[in-house]
Amino acid sequence: MAAKDAGTDSQKHFSLVVSELSKLSSLRDARNPLVIDGESLDMASVVAVAKHCVGAVLSGDILEKLGKSVRLLNERLRKGEIVYGINTGFGGSADTRCSPGEMHTLQRSLLQHLNCGVLPMPGGGSDTTSMSLKEEWVRAAILIRANSLARGHSAVRPKVIESLVTLLLYDVIPLVPLRGSISASGDLSPLSYIAGALEGNPDIPCWIGSQGSRALVSAPEALASIGLSPITFDPKEGLGLVNGTAVSCAVATLTLHSMHNLVLLSQLLTAMNVEAILGTSTSFAPFISAVRPHPGQSEVASIILSALSGSQLAEPLFEQHATSSHGLFQDRYSLRTAPQWLGPFIEDLLLAHRQLEVEMNSTTDNPLIDPSTGLIYHGGNFQAVSVTSAMEKSRLAAQAVGRMLFAQFTEMLNPATNRGLPPNLCADDPSTSFTMKGLDTAMASYISELSFLGNPVHNHVVSAEMGNQSVNSLALVSARYTDTAVEILTLMCATTLYAACQALDLRAMERKFAKELEDAFTNLILDQLDGGDLDDKTLASLSKTAISYILQEMPKTTTMDTKQRFGKILWGSLADLVQTVAEEELVVDLGTLVGFIDQAAEVTEALYDDVRQRYLFQDADVSDLLGRASRRLYRYVRHDLGVPMHRGVIDHPVSAPQLPLPGRNAAGNVIANGNLRHEEIIVNGQTHGSGETDGWRKRTIGHWVSVINGSIKSGKIMDVVVDILKEGSAA
């Protein structure tokens, strides 16, 4: 049974998620119908049916058990016994009784009073998505309810369960109101719309048709389109369909699936941000977790350390900025304590996973029939607090991950904390370019909303239904808000990934400049020797001092435009140059030294402009400097998704004439196919313009973040994440 095996205490979070994603991929690709047996449903199966429209069939092995529970109930009723919800009223009205001839009417009456949700009306000013459950949620709910009924404790005929499965097979999905459930006696009202579709209620709309051409029709029309006839429910069948936790469990399962993915991605994003900020790997050293052996902390530290393997930007183990005589000695908390911050929450998510897999393989209605003894039990398995508990933990985890990413993001954009990156990660001059500043504000908006959503739902319970439901789980409400939280966290992950790629490109540009600086000064020396006043030894000494000073001051002057920046730096080097002259007993007069400074400033400024232009328009690629994980994610963003480095104001869509759209990559995103040159741009074999003309269709910053966001929401990026994790675990 999946619920018994899921997420043992010793199981690592990443291995559970990788296993689920692997199974999901197999189910999605094979397209074989899922076999419903009431025992073995798991998260991957729910996602396959809900998101990828994989069909389902009822196991033939359970038909006898289903028939036995129906026969047992009918025998009790023939003896005149009172059974709740079959010959009594419902909830606080259970003090009423009905005659045997009214039992079918009672089931219709149940659905009648529960079909009370509010759906959009034609011309009502709202679309179907704003007031109804997502189709994928309803698919998952149908699957989970069918699985629960298949356990044989509910006295629901196989015919009824098979009709539920047929809805999935043909993707006929009732339109279910978004609100109205307190998930106390189960999700009564939402499930009544699924039951109402089966009984052919003409006032319940259903989605039919293939994806991309869906249409809403009445339930009778929808049933007829797939060869089903409306069902008249026998005693207990209406109640059996609506009295359960399937809707809240469905929304929770799909939401937790996404949350699992984001938590794994956030660990790799943290590794990218360590590299972007020139942080240290030592924060994730095994010894630190070994002396505080929480399993979640150890796992996160191991993943991040493995992700940094091979990085030329992050400080290696035990070299914690040891050679730096200035600046913050340790990384700030958002990076340094990521394992301690995330670890407890992945432990919570493992528990949430177990809770939901138990729930989806449980009988959650009332009364319950034990076919092995013939006894009927009246209890409260419909109280969905286990689902609420899973969702409260997941939502709190989402807020924690978001808060960490927000801190990392703002640290990366701020020149006071980012160890030499330009303000707002602009590639051009900071006086007129504010590349990531809007995203900085957007991230503050996201985390503020996410933090509000992090508050608990379960403590807002009020007494309902004549005081009978004096405590109720609010599981569906909690699951819906957790879904919203996950959506916001997805935005934060996408924004962080976009910014991290930009920061890493800027690091590569910085390294390229530093690498070419010595050659530039060598050329300066040669020019001076041809007609200058200084000998080669003096020039070499002055150049060495100037280069050292330039590299030292570069991180401190990132807020300056290029034209002012290098003059300030070189003139600031005067004291160091004078000291070199004195220490090495060089013969240099002040006028000659001033001339050297002026020439050095010109050479350095020209080199920086040249390196920047070449990097932005010709050879932007930081891959060789990156650790194992960052390299894969960077290439995925830049090449697979076609999201380019942001080059500054020139990339504003109305800043210069547009080129024709240059085609699409395998992911369907517009990119320039060909070699980008500063002098000329080649797109699909055609040369376009020269000079500052750009070789790709300009897009807003939000557009590129949206491309990444779409990849995260669809789960496509998880193929890369899983490969990274598998490589790391095998290393």
CA distance 479 to 286: 36
Q: Are strands 680-683 and 34-36 parallel, antiparallel or unpaired?
A: unpaired
Which domain covers residue 126, as residue numbers?
A: 33-244
| CATH code of the domain in which 282 resides | 1.20.200.10
- Check whether residue 496 and residue 569 sit in a common domain: no
- Check whether residue 53 and residue 112 sit in a common domain: yes
- Check whether residue 564 and residue 660 sit in a common domain: no
Residue 68 lies in a domain: yes
CA distance 186 to 192: 11
Residue 514 lies in a domain: no
- Check whether residue 544 and residue 467 sit in a common domain: no
- Check whether residue 333 and residue 302 sit in a common domain: yes
Domain count within the chain = 4
* CA within 13 Å, CB half, 17: 26
- Check whether residue 497 and residue 593 sit in a common domain: no
pTM for this structure?
Answer: 0.91
Residue 708 lies in a domain: no
What are the pLDDT digits (tens) for 74-108?
Answer: 999 999 999 999 999 898 998 899 999 999 999 99
Residue 153 lies in a domain: yes
Q: What pLDDT was estimated at residue 104?
A: 92
Task: Tell me: pLDDT of 731 over 90.
Answer: no
- How many other CB atoms are there within 10 angstroms of residue 94's CB atom? 15
Q: What pLDDT was estimated at residue 130?
A: 85
Residue ending a domain, choose from 201, 217, 244: 244
- Check whether residue 177 and residue 115 sit in a common domain: yes
User: Which comes out higher in pLDDT, residue 115 or 529?
Assistant: 115
Task: Tell me: pLDDT of 241 over 50.
Answer: yes
What are the pLDDT digits (tens) for 245-302?
Answer: 999 999 999 999 999 999 999 999 999 999 999 999 999 999 999 999 999 999 999 9
Sheet holding 205-208, edge to edge: 173-174, 205-208, 215-218
- Check whether residue 166 and residue 272 sit in a common domain: no
What are the pLDDT digits (tens) for 159-170?
Answer: 999 999 999 999
Work out the burial of residue 187: count CB atoms within 10 Å of its CB; fewer than 13 is exposed, 13-18 middle, 19 or more buried: buried
Residue 85 lies in a domain: yes
- Check whether residue 47 and residue 129 sit in a common domain: yes
| CATH code of the domain in which 596 resides | 1.10.274
Residue 709 lies in a domain: no
Residue 434 lies in a domain: yes
Residue that has been written with the tokens 């030329």 in this structure: 312
- Check whether residue 682 and residue 600 sit in a common domain: no
- Check whether residue 301 and residue 222 sit in a common domain: no
- Find residue 687's DSSP bridge partners: 682
Q: What pLDDT was estimated at residue 35?
A: 97
634 is catalytic: no
Task: Tell me: pLDDT of 325 over 60.
Answer: no
Residue 728 lies in a domain: no
- Check whether residue 283 and residue 406 sit in a common domain: yes
Question: Residues 605, 563: contact at Cβ < 8 Å?
Answer: yes
